[in-house]
Amino acid sequence: MSPAPLPPLAEILSSLRVVSLPLATRFRGVDHREAALFEGPEGWGEFSPFLEYAPVEASTWLTAAIDFAYEPQPTPHRARIGVNATVPAVAASDVAGVLARYGACRTAKVKVAEAGQTLDDDIARVAAVREQMGPEGRIRVDANAGWNIDEAERALHALAEFDLEYAEQPCASVAELAELRDRLRKWDLPIAADESVRKAEDPLAVARAGAADIVIIKAQPLGGARRALDIVEQAGLAAVVSSAIDTSVGLAQGALLAAALPALDHDCGLGTAALLTADVTRDPLLPQDGTISAARVVPDEDLLVRHAADPQREEWWRRRIGACYALL
């Protein structure tokens, strides 16, 4: 099937709204999340690659936003999506406050291997999560490729007492993940690949190498739901849909992607509206009983105005969209 023709750039920019939403906890070095929203015939789409991403990488996110705004999405198999809490690299004493924002989520993803922190910090944070969630809670850790093989093996040994569900992107390269997975085979600790899928020239290399048990897929970085579903099908591995601290518009795209997966055996990283203290809708996709709805979101005009980025930032996003559009 040939790709749908692109809408004119001027049409995309004509409905553009750029927002700056405050975060409850500092994340990736920022305390506000900026996002560009625009409306198409199917509804609103979100373009929100992180600020440091160059046009070559960010252009895939624009493809996804255009697809969501202009094209019908794949047929859903479920109406609600189980989601996990996300615990940034906070002090152990702050864990209870972070988890409280998520309500009844049964699963928590805990950031580890943060630059400038130690393994003791990670152990304390994961221990605090286990204490809060009790023995029935599910805990997964995400190192964002922050360890080498030996560091990962040592750290995961130290964290094993907390009964981990899986370890997400413990090392950077596919070869490292494959070796680590082989070392951990007797532990029965699954390895999930995130950056090795969404930032890779070949997102299927990790599956061919036998380097992961689970693929983490994100609608925006992978160019939309159809491409993400194709990757999952070809990889032949379990999938977890995650987000990038999107507004509820972007989270809706992820939720509809998760709804379209033929099988969904894990809670998804789509509860991150809880990390925002404001959103673009009065009915944000906050977890309710550990789930969110798989449905499109319509922004509220008053909230778009209230949280509008300043004119200089809006112009920066307009130029960024133009640079990315030129690469499509």
Residues making up the annotated binding site for Mg(2+) are 142, 168, 194
Q: Which two tokens stand for residue 177?
A: 């993940």
> For the chain, how big is the Rg over CA atoms in Å?
19
Give yes or no for a contact between 46 and 247, defined as CB atoms under 8 angstroms apart: yes
Contacts of 224 (CB under 8 A, 6+ apart): 63, 64, 67, 68, 71, 253
- Residue 247's nearest CA partner among 43, 40, 36 is 36
Q: Which residues are annotated as a binding site?
A: 142, 168, 194
Question: Which positions are catalytic?
Answer: 111, 218
> How far apart are the C-alpha atoms of 45 and 249, rounded to whole Å?
7
Query: Which CA distances in Å does 311 have to 17, 44, 281, 308, 317?
Result: 11, 21, 22, 9, 10
Give yes or no for a contact between 36 and 323, defined as CB atoms under 8 angstroms apart: no
